[in-house]
Structure 1
Amino acid sequence: MLRFEGFAASRAAECRQRLPALLLLGLLALARPLAAAELEVGGPAGSRRLDSAVLLATPATQDIDVPDDVAYGRPMRFRAVPLAPLLAAAGFTAADTVEAVALDGYVAQLPAAALLSDAADGAQAWLAIEPPDTPWPKLPRGEGTAGPFYLVWREPQAGGITPEQWPFQLAVLRRVAAPAERWPALNPPAGAGSDAQRGLAVFVQHCLPCHRLNGAGEATIGPDLNRPMSPVEYFRPDLLRRYLREPAALRTWPGQGMPGFAESVLPAADLEALLAYLAAMAAAR
């Protein structure tokens, strides 16, 4: 359900001015070395496969420092290219939802408005690219590296970006319908309170990248959170709150991949809205 945390400052607007989006995509059509990886980008203008070696050779690519990286939990430096021109050239608009699919089964639903933003004082999305000849370090949990592609942010706190919006081991970015429209089974039942309605948005951001609910969703990491039962049905309310904050305090198992939601990531009001949503969905199952 959760990835981790991290943040930094940016000169992304300068890069976007130096390299127009169409020129960048033209460079991406060049021949590729055998060791290169590919990222699939599917937008209104069609689907393209972007090559890591070609991306690394573009003028827009530069070294960026991430002081507290989400995947590695420490300062990192990456070769990266601003993501906004790539998405704009593929036809994405601020009204779109972008589905980010990772190699490990993690699937995040991201607002294109945040990914397309290039405000100098706002959050800015960058596509970090793992060089084929100099791999990144192994992830702390021994799941390989964060490559070949990794969506990282500069000044994420300025845009309310949470750890779930830093997908690593990235394979696909594609335009999709908004989650509640795409999967009606996610919608709270008629008559559900305002907390449950708000909880749907919390669930989509924090839980849907790893879990499904009522079979709805694309992720394959965690179990369905309403079939055959909801966590609200087998956890006492106080223990469920504690589990979401600190899972290892209640149970541990080999390969455990769910760290807790700190209050800085999931404020108390959002946590209560999430629990109200899960309870409403369990009652309507």
Structure 2
Amino acid sequence: MNKRTLCITLLTLLSFSHLHAAELTLELGNGSQRLSSAQLLAHPQAQTIEISDDVSYKRNMHYRAVPLAALLEGVQPGDHLQLLASDGFAAELSAAPALSQTGSQAWLAIEDPEQPWPTLGNGKPSAGPFYLVWQNPGASQIGPEQWPFQLATIRKLAPVTQRFPQLLPAADASPAVQAGFVQYQKNCMACHRLNGAGDSQFGPDLNIPHNPTEYFSGDFLTRYIRDPQSLRRWPQGKMPGFNEALLSRTELANLLDYLSHMAGRKTAIE
């Protein structure tokens, strides 16, 4: 066996072992619970589902999955959830759409070690072992940042506004800035911090030391958000583009208003 074949074999075995050992942690205010892939695949509500136009795989996919609501014991629609991925991605989500049985429906997809999912690209892993997917996402305006893959932990927490006051615009900020703050929470916060505030460890801070509205001139920031690779083409780029179906012109304008506003509200990172 040559070195290349040996490396491939070892990587395959490690990946297989990782799937077998995978555990999802639930921290929902009633202690911490860990569920293995085997336990979730054997869940009484587990079933095979079809996801149309999967956000990560860019095509229709089939998964063995459990309704997310079935795992959220004690969680109420007014609660707030955070979904942490193993790579530091931290999605924030109101519990209401996660619990809904109509409109958008949230599912926890579980990767079966016996039937591993495709990789997300050359040299990349799959979306497993756990992946939050949605049927009919448009009904609840679920964006791509609410599809965390390689999911590791689901937590019930206080809302963002209570946990991170450094993110709040001024009390007299315009309605456009306030609306932009909502878009920031939905579309940016899973990857970025701002003023050091947030739980994501995935992307750079958007205000410290400099806010992107301070160094992108003209319409380049808009163009970058719409299609990052159109301005900075590099294979390691991870930021997705936000087309008008995901972020309307008005929503994008509001987001830029919020970022510009926060450029004048920098706080030191402790």
Do they fold alike, i.e. is TM over 0.5? yes
Q: 2-side partners of 1:159 and 1:193: how far apart?
A: 25
Aligned pair 1:172/2:157, yes or no? no
CA offsets 1:200-249 (integer angstroms, 9 cap, x no match): 11001100000000000111111000000000000014111111111111
Q: 2-side partners of 1:216 and 1:42: how far apart?
A: 21
CA offsets 1:65-101 (integer angstroms, 9 cap, x no match): 11211111111110001110210x2x11111111000
Aligned pair 1:79/2:64, yes or no? yes
Aligned pair 1:37/2:18, yes or no? no
Residues 52 and 135, structure 2, Cα contact 8 Å, conserved in 1? no
Q: Of 227, 244, 250, which aligns to 1:246?
A: 227
CA offsets 1:107-134 (integer angstroms, 9 cap, x no match): 0001100101112xx1111110001222
Q: 2-side partners of 1:161 and 1:198: how far apart?
A: 16
Residues 72 and 140, structure 1, Cα contact 8 Å, conserved in 2? no
Residues 36 and 53, structure 1, Cα contact 8 Å, conserved in 2? no
Aligned pair 1:127/2:98, yes or no? no
Paired AA for residue 50 in structure 2:
D
Indicate the SS of the match to 1:174. strand
Q: Of 95, 103, 126, which aligns to 2:86?
A: 103
Q: Which of 69-78 and 132-141 deviates more? A: 132-141
Q: Provide the residue aligned with 2:16 in structure 1.
A: none
Q: Of 48, 55, 58, which aligns to 1:70?
A: 55
Q: 1-side partners of 2:122 and 2:101: how far apart?
A: 33
Residues 36 and 132, structure 1, Cα contact 8 Å, conserved in 2? no
Aligned pair 1:94/2:77, yes or no? yes
Aligned pair 1:50/2:31, yes or no? no
Q: Provide the residue aligned with 1:25 in structure 2.
A: none
Q: Provide the residue aligned with 1:159 in structure 2.
A: 140
Q: 1-side partners of 2:233 and 2:154: how far apart?
A: 33
Residues 97 and 104, structure 2, Cα contact 8 Å, conserved in 1? yes
Residues 108 and 167, structure 1, Cα contact 8 Å, conserved in 2? yes
**1:225–1:70: structure 2 CA closer, same or farther, 3 Å change rule?**
same
Q: Provide the residue aligned with 1:214 in structure 2.
A: 195
Post-superposition offset of 1:191? 2.6
Q: How many residues align?
A: 248
Q: 2-side partners of 1:72 and 1:102: how far apart?
A: 17
Q: Which runs of 5+ in 1 are unaligned?
A: 1-33
Paired AA for residue 210 in structure 2:
M
Residues 22 and 37, structure 2, Cα contact 8 Å, conserved in 1? yes
**1:48–1:214: structure 2 CA closer, same or farther, 3 Å change rule?**
same
Indicate the SS of the match to 2:107. strand
Residues 202 and 270, structure 1, Cα contact 8 Å, conserved in 2? yes
Paired AA for residue 145 in structure 1:
S
Q: Of 207, 227, 232, which aligns to 1:226?
A: 207
CA offsets 1:6-49 (integer angstroms, 9 cap, x no match): xxxxxxxxxxxxxxxxxxxxxxxxxxxx9241100111222211
Q: 1-side partners of 2:121 and 2:246: how far apart?
A: 21
Q: Which runs of 5+ in 2 are unaligned?
A: 1-18
Post-superposition offset of 1:190? 3.6
Q: 2-side partners of 1:141 and 1:200: how far apart?
A: 35
Residues 64 and 78, structure 1, Cα contact 8 Å, conserved in 2? yes
Q: 2-side partners of 1:237 and 1:281: how far apart?
A: 19
Post-superposition offset of 1:141? 5.8
Q: 1-side partners of 2:57 and 2:123: how far apart?
A: 11
- Scaled by the length of structure 2, what TM-score is found? 0.89
